[in-house]
Amino acid sequence: MAHFSRLYAIVIDAPRPDYAATVAFWSGAAGADLPVVAKYPEFNGAKLPNHDMLLLTQQLGDGPARVHLDFHTDDLDAEVARLEALGATRLEHAENWQVMRDPAGLPFCVVQDRPGTLSEANATRWD
């Protein structure tokens, strides 16, 4: 099925004890305020200055610090199927996103974007 998707977010996952220092570091490093994301208080983030990409920090309950990428799409099922055909596997589904693993075992997310957000001007069309 034809749909749009784009690589849209860099997410720094940090354990709870290191979270405040991680947010402060990445805010300073990127030169951007990273406020709490209203609907998801375990995230801080914002668009990067002079870019059309998000930088997010995510507070983990446990597990090691890591970085993962988020794809945004206008058709979650179609994008997940496209990435599975390339070798990704599903891990877990949460609200409007699917957590996946690439062939090397690295996690990433596929996020359902708001209707009308993606177009040929800012994303890739997959037929």
The string of pLDDT tens digits covering residues 13-49 is: 999 999 999 999 999 999 999 999 998 999 999 999 8
Write down the mean pLDDT value for the chain. Answer: 96
CATH superfamily, domain 3-126, is 2,3-Dihydroxybiphenyl 1,2-Dioxygenase, domain 1 (3.10.180.10)
Q: Report pLDDT digits (tens) over 36-84.
A: 999 899 999 999 988 999 999 999 988 899 999 999 999 999 999 999 9
Return d(Cα 13, Cα 109) in angstroms, integer: 12
| pLDDT at 69 (0 to 100) | 98
Identify whether the C-beta of residue 46 lies closer than 8 Å to the C-beta of residue 54.
yes
The verdict on pTM exceeding 0.85 is yes
Domain parsing of the chain, residue ranges: 3-126
